[in-house]
Amino acid sequence: MADAIRVHGLKELTRDFKKISKDLDKLVTAELTDAAKPVQTKADELALSEIRNMTSSWARMRIGVSRARGVVFMVPASRGRKYKRPNLGGLLMDRAMWPAAEEERDDVVEALGEMIDRLGGKYDLD
């Protein structure tokens, strides 16, 4: 199983960006969401191809950003509806979410580095 993609200091970074500008805070949230999109897309694909009898509505993932905790996360987009597969959470994690994070790790790391460079240049963050 893959490790989570960790950005050490993300909580502090987002807190400091929020102090600079509310617009910057919103931009950081949008950039973090964009950086996670390749993992979301890959997890959607893997859920459909690797889990038997998976429906497209339950295979779709959504990305969330918790700036207070410094976390970007991915969860199934469907919620609040009962699904008659009690093992679905484990299957999604093992066959779609973790493999997608592992496969797209380099792209996410590159996107985060570019985000910090872009924002640093735009706001002269030295």
Helix axes 10-20, 22-50, angle to 10 degrees: 140
pLDDT digits (tens, 9 = 90+) for 58-69: 889 999 988 667
Mean pLDDT of the chain: 83
Amino acid at 66: S
Q: Is residue 27 part of a domain?
A: yes
Say if residue 125's pLDDT is above 60.
Answer: no
Q: Is residue 67 part of a domain?
A: yes
User: 47: pLDDT confidence band, cut at 50, 70 and 90?
Assistant: very high
Q: Is residue 66 part of a domain?
A: yes
User: What pLDDT, on the 0 to 100 scale, is given for residue 63?
Assistant: 93
Give Cα separations from 24 to 28, 36, 118, 125 (angstroms).
6, 18, 12, 12
Say if residue 103's pLDDT is above 80.
Answer: yes
Q: Is residue 31 part of a domain?
A: yes
- The number of distinct structural domains making up the chain is 1
For range 112-123, the mean pLDDT:
79
User: What pLDDT, on the 0 to 100 scale, is given for residue 76?
Assistant: 86
User: What pLDDT, on the 0 to 100 scale, is given for residue 1?
Assistant: 47
Print the domain residue range for 58.
10-115
Total Cβ atoms within 10 A of residue 108: 19
**Which residues, 6 or more positions from 62, have their beta carbon under 8 angstroms from its beta carbon?**
40, 74, 75, 76, 77
Q: Is residue 63 part of a domain?
A: yes
Say if residue 45's pLDDT is above 80.
Answer: yes
Q: Is residue 4 part of a domain?
A: no
> 3-class SS at 75?
strand
Q: Is residue 45 part of a domain?
A: yes
Q: Is residue 90 part of a domain?
A: yes
